[in-house]
Chains A and B, each alone.
Chain A
Amino acid sequence: MFYLILITKLLILLFLPIYLNRIVQNDGSFSKSYINAIFLLFIIYSALLTYIPFTIYYFENEVNIQTFLPFYGLVGFIIFYSVLPISFFIIQIKKIYIQSFFNRVFKIFGLISLIITILLIAGIEIFNFINLQALHEICYSSHDSSSEKLRCCLDANYVWKEGFAFSKNTPIECEKYMNWND
């Protein structure tokens, strides 16, 4: 199921801009509102898959990621995945003239960036899924004495053989299992 969802997610990311590019080229076949709606859908969808989760990770992860990726690195990442594609599509939608050579270069660059992004997202999500499976195996082997405990473990952010823990806001029904210091 994980892989099915992942492939679907990534195919949408791949084909949405291609579809948007095609409908923009078809003069008059599609209404402006429809084009704008697809455009909005794409920028929100790509944000949810790229720089939004990465920004959250940058500020909330335990590792001091800020020491090797400075803030301007994060800003550059956000610009790459927001400002650049938005600018490209505005130029397309507003039919702002650009020499066909540069237009072609932008499109090829955009396509290559999209494919690399898809491969990166796929790699990261598969890696995280494999790690999560390993933690879930510990839940099934060490914390399955009750269905409630198992459920708590499967929802936990930290899992080890003798216990589990949450990053924030431990659910009330799981608090009784947070006794590893007793």
Chain B
Amino acid sequence: MKYIKILFFSILLFYSSYIYADSNFVHAKLADKLYKPWGIAVLDDDHLLITQKSGELFKINIRNKTKTEIDHNLIVSEYGQGGLLDVLYYNEKVYVSYAEERGDEKYSTSVAIGEIKDNSISFKNIFQSEPPIKSKIHFGSRLEIKNDHLFITVGERQTGKLTQEIDNHFGKIIRLHLDGSIPLDNPYVDQENGLNEIYMIGLRNPQGMAVSPIDNELYITNHGPKGGDFFGKVIEKGNYGWDDVAWGGTDYDGTIIGDGSAWLPGLVKPIYRWIPSIAVSDIFFYEGDEFSEWQGDVLLSSLKVQKLFKLDYEDGKVRDVSIIFERKGRLRDVEVNNLGEIFYIVDDSKGSLWQLQKS
């Protein structure tokens, strides 16, 4: 009886452990009971910032696993796919993207900037997508910095054809200076009716963005409709073609989008596509010592298929796609710190933050 009890409690302890090991990796849980976590930012070698869709911002100490809420002045609540979304830390400034209510229940993808002082941030808006509309989906909202420019992805918010017009921000990549001012060399600055922040058009719901350390180019992931998720490059004044093309996908009711072409001449071609969709979320180009064999490879997280992929990307082509791990939950974001440590979040009402380690 005594040995049965020992066996029982050993099994219980194993399954309640904060460490999960598969054959190649150890998944160390750093935080749990997170409500729909959306974005991770690396603060320093010991701390991460995490957003929750419901509006909370947390600082996580990854060494002692403590969680501190950062007070802020943004009025944000969950609104369909919107809420407090991505977070970025650069030059002691915190950038966040969020679904901002602009009156009359109309929302936009907005970006705000602030500094952490005594676990508190007073944010100031530096970007609001135009026009605000009543749509609960496709906010885009990923943030990235390249060459001291802030890039923002904005989803099409179910506006379809408007993503092809330059008098709105739907389905666009935005480029700004770090203070939110508009670069004078943005591609549509001299164009009549063009919004000056626009850098690229024709996207549906881009939720991943990262700079490659190899070629210093900016890359994105984009949700297709029913099929057609892709990984591609950001091209100045480029057009991915939504919704004249759907990259191999159809509408959810089975109807063809456009004339059924995945691509048309004059449009930017995705580098890699998934049909059926995998609900691709974020990407990160790995640099570090812990997984040195992955140097320069793309880590790509997915929601629907719950996998972390590794893309062997070289000379404009994806040479190989492999699965690092799967079945850990809907993976919303993946980040790597300066030590090469990999972190990912599981998007759920009882979400969690994990570190991937070698076993």
Chain A partners chain B: yes
Flag if B255 contacts A131 (CB, 8 Å).
yes
Asked if B253 is at the interface (CB within 8 A of a chain A CB), the reply is yes
Flag if B276 contacts A165 (CB, 8 Å).
yes
Query: Besides the contacts A135-B250, A135-B256, A181-B272, what 11 more A-B pairs have beta carbons closer than 8 Å?
Result: A61-B252, A63-B252, A131-B253, A134-B255, A135-B254, A138-B256, A162-B262, A163-B275, A165-B248, A180-B262, A180-B275
Q: Once the chains are docked, how many angstroms separate the CA of A134 from the CA of B250?
A: 11
Residue-wise interface mask of B (246-266) relative to A, using a CB-CB cutoff of 8 A (1 in contact, 0 not): 101110111110011111000
A-B contact pairs, 29 of them (CB 8 A): A62-B225, A62-B226, A62-B276, A62-B277, A62-B304, A63-B226, A127-B253, A128-B254, A131-B253, A131-B256, A132-B254, A134-B260, A135-B250, A135-B256, A157-B276, A158-B226, A158-B249, A158-B275, A160-B249, A161-B259, A162-B263, A163-B275, A165-B248, A165-B275, A167-B276, A180-B273, A180-B275, A181-B272, A181-B273
Q: Once the chains are docked, how many angstroms separate the CA of A127 from the CA of B275?
A: 22
A63-B226, A181-B272 known; A160 vs B252 contact (CB < 8 Å): no
Which residue of chain A is the closest to B256 with respect to CB atoms?
A134
Asked if B318 is at the interface (CB within 8 A of a chain A CB), the reply is yes
Asked if B227 is at the interface (CB within 8 A of a chain A CB), the reply is yes
A131-B253, A158-B226, A165-B248 known; A138 vs B260 contact (CB < 8 Å): yes
A180-B275, A181-B318 known; A160 vs B254 contact (CB < 8 Å): no
A62-B252, A131-B254, A131-B255 known; A160 vs B276 contact (CB < 8 Å): no
B256 contacts across to A, CB distance below 8 A: 131, 134-135, 138
Q: Which of A152-182 contact B (CB under 8 A)?
A: 157-163, 165, 167, 180-181
Output the residue of B227, B252, B254, B261 with the most chain A CB within 10 A. B254
Q: Once the chains are docked, how many angstroms separate the CA of A180 from the CA of B80?
A: 33
Q: Once the chains are docked, how many angstroms separate the CA of A159 from the CA of B249?
A: 8
Q: Once the chains are docked, how many angstroms separate the CA of A132 from the CA of B225?
A: 17
A165 contacts across to B, CB distance below 8 A: 227, 248, 275-276
- Minimum C-beta distance from B137 to chain A (A): 9
A181 contacts across to B, CB distance below 8 A: 272-273, 318
- Minimum C-beta distance from B332 to chain A (A): 14
Flag if A158 contacts B318 (CB, 8 Å).
no
A-side interface size class: 20 to 34
A128 contacts across to B, CB distance below 8 A: 254
Q: Once the chains are docked, how many angstroms separate the CA of A181 from the CA of B247?
A: 11
Flag if B249 contacts A162 (CB, 8 Å).
no
B261 CB contact (under 8 Å) in A134, A135, A158, A160: A160
Flag if A160 contacts B253 (CB, 8 Å).
no
Flag if A180 contacts B277 (CB, 8 Å).
no
Q: Once the chains are docked, how many angstroms separate the CA of A165 from the CA of B250?
A: 12
Residue-wise interface mask of A (119-146) relative to B, using a CB-CB cutoff of 8 A (1 in contact, 0 not): 0000000011001101100100000000
- Minimum C-beta distance from B302 to chain A (A): 13
A131 contacts across to B, CB distance below 8 A: 250, 253-256
Q: Once the chains are docked, how many angstroms separate the CA of A139 from the CA of B262?
A: 14
Residue-wise interface mask of B (210-248) relative to A, using a CB-CB cutoff of 8 A (1 in contact, 0 not): 000000000000000111000000000000000000101
B277 contacts across to A, CB distance below 8 A: 62
* A-B complex: 6 closest residue pairs judged by Cβ atoms: A131-B254, A63-B252, A165-B275, A62-B226, A158-B227, A160-B248
A63 contacts across to B, CB distance below 8 A: 226, 252
A62-B277, A180-B273 known; A163 vs B252 contact (CB < 8 Å): no
B262 contacts across to A, CB distance below 8 A: 160-163, 180
Flag if B227 contacts A62 (CB, 8 Å).
yes
Which residue of chain A is the closest to B272 with respect to CB atoms?
A181
- Minimum C-beta distance from B300 to chain A (A): 14
Which residue of chain B is the closest to A163 with respect to CB atoms?
B248
B304 contacts across to A, CB distance below 8 A: 62
Residue-wise interface mask of A (2-42) relative to B, using a CB-CB cutoff of 8 A (1 in contact, 0 not): 00000000000000000000000000000000000000000
Q: Once the chains are docked, how many angstroms separate the CA of A181 from the CA of B275?
A: 10
Output the residue of B227, B248, B273, B304 with the most chain A CB within 10 A. B248
A127 contacts across to B, CB distance below 8 A: 253-254
- Minimum C-beta distance from B189 to chain A (A): 35
Residue-wise interface mask of B (266-305) relative to A, using a CB-CB cutoff of 8 A (1 in contact, 0 not): 0000001101110000000000000000000000000010
B263 contacts across to A, CB distance below 8 A: 162
Which residue of chain A is the closest to B270 with respect to CB atoms?
A181
Output the residue of A61, A63, A132, A160 with the most chain B CB within 10 A. A160
Which residue of chain B is the closest to A127 with respect to CB atoms?
B253
A160 CB contact (under 8 Å) in B80, B260, B318: B260
Q: Once the chains are docked, how many angstroms separate the CA of A138 from the CA of B255?
A: 13
